[in-house]
Amino acid sequence: MDLAVLEALNAERASRRAVLLVTELASGRQRLVTPEQAPADPLADPMAEALRTGRSAMVEQGGERLFLSVQLPAPRLVITGAVHISQALAPMAALTGLDVVIIDPRSAFATPERFPAVDLRAQWPDEALPGLALDAFTAFAALTHDPKIDDPALEEALRRGCFYVGALGSRKTHAARLERLAARGLAGETLARIHAPIGLDIGAATPAEIAVSILAQVVGTLRQRPAARERAA
Amino acid sequence: MMNVREDDVLEAAARWSREGRGVALATVVETWGSAPRPVGSHLVIDDRGDFLGSVSGGCVEGAVVAEATEVIADGQPRLVSFGVADETAWRVGLSCGGRISVYVEKVG
């Protein structure tokens, strides 16, 4: 692989853009293809499949064997709330390969001492979120219990199609939240995407156990996306 | 670091190459049966035999590193297969019941 091709591939990854690499196995010839270029490519069909499922694959074209490698942006977990649960959730999520960002404008909570080695933004969501560009490869968890912080971030996460959206709070708290978000103009079917009460029901009792239940739900949603299920069937 | 991601492997491949090391990149391109690492998994190897990443969870890394040394030397990419039916593969320990094809190419 030419170093220039590898550098270009890495640059796309660093910018959270999907990219395809086609390798002719016999000759070693390679080319990078962006999602915008893929529909006009001779390999448009397998490329569309790879971009949808995130699976790299061998393909044949004109008697030639090609390896189609797809690189999708790394999954990311954005959290509002530099709270106790987040202190456990952040390192666990990092271990599973998620990039973690925590947003909390309350500077007493959002301290590097409480969150070593975490991308911590002591800002309001409306300040922090534009720069983060939430996308379909992002999971979002609202953990502050404070509507002033959680609601605008939940709205942004839903509008930008985050693959997972979860919110901490009892059923009663969540019912009130749904009313507030509906008043912001979000449709019922969009609001139904929120996992609340957040996390798998494993009877979690401590902040760390709640973190496990949230992380398991995030991973489950990531790995059991409709496209992935379809492919496995 | 406990968890090495594919992008770290690709970034390491570029960094090592920029540093002037001889570098090869191995990629799992096909799997059959219960292969331990999915298609697209990478292992990067330098000319001293240092490596990062995984193509088989440890089963055949040694053989791939040996192959990579040849690739770094002559610059020719190779497609290598490992499986339980293969005497060499058995020796290098892919006893996990799967079969994998690994593409090994020089970087730079």
Mean pLDDT, residues A174-193 taken together: 96
Taking the C-alpha atoms of residue A215 and residue A209, their distance in angstroms, rounded to an integer, is: 10
Return the C-alpha torsion angle B56, B61, B63, B66, nearest 10: 140
DSSP string computed for A159-187? HTT-SEEEE-S-HHHHHHHHHHHHHTT--
DSSP class of residue A114 equals T
Does A97 reach chain B within 8 Å, measured CB to CB?
yes
The H or E element that residue A47 is part of is: helix A44-53
- Report the alpha-carbon distance of residue A225 to residue A136 in Å, rounded: 11
Cβ-Cβ contacts under 8 Å between A and B: the total is: 59
User: Given this model, what pLDDT does residue B4 score?
Assistant: 56
Distance from CA of B61 to the nearest CA of A (A): 20
What domains appear along chain A, each with residue ranges and CATH number? 3-71 (no CATH), 76-223 (3.40.50.720)
- Say if the Cβ atoms of B107 and A1 lie within 8 Å: yes
Q: pLDDT tens-digit profile of B14-30?
A: 999 999 999 999 999 99
Look at residues A43, A31, A25, A63 and name the one whose alpha carbon lies nearest to residue B81.
Answer: A25
pLDDT, tens digit (0-9, with 9 covering 90-100), for A89-131: 999 999 999 999 999 999 999 999 999 989 999 999 999 999 9
Q: Is the pLDDT of residue A41 over 70?
A: yes
CA of B43 to nearest chain A CA: how many angstroms apart? 14
Give the integer Cα–Cα distance in Å for A204 and A111: 26
Task: Flag whether pLDDT at A168 surpasses 80.
Answer: yes
The CA distance from B95 to the nearest CA of chain A, in Å, is 24
Residue B8: pLDDT band with limits 50, 70, 90: confident
pLDDT in tens, B50-87: 999 988 877 788 899 999 999 999 999 999 998 744 45
Q: Report d(CA A81, CA A135) in Å as an integer.
A: 20
* pTM flag (> 0.80): no
ipTM above 0.95, yes or no: no
Six token digits for residue B100? 């994998």
Highest average pLDDT, of A8-22, A179-193, B31-45, comes from: A179-193
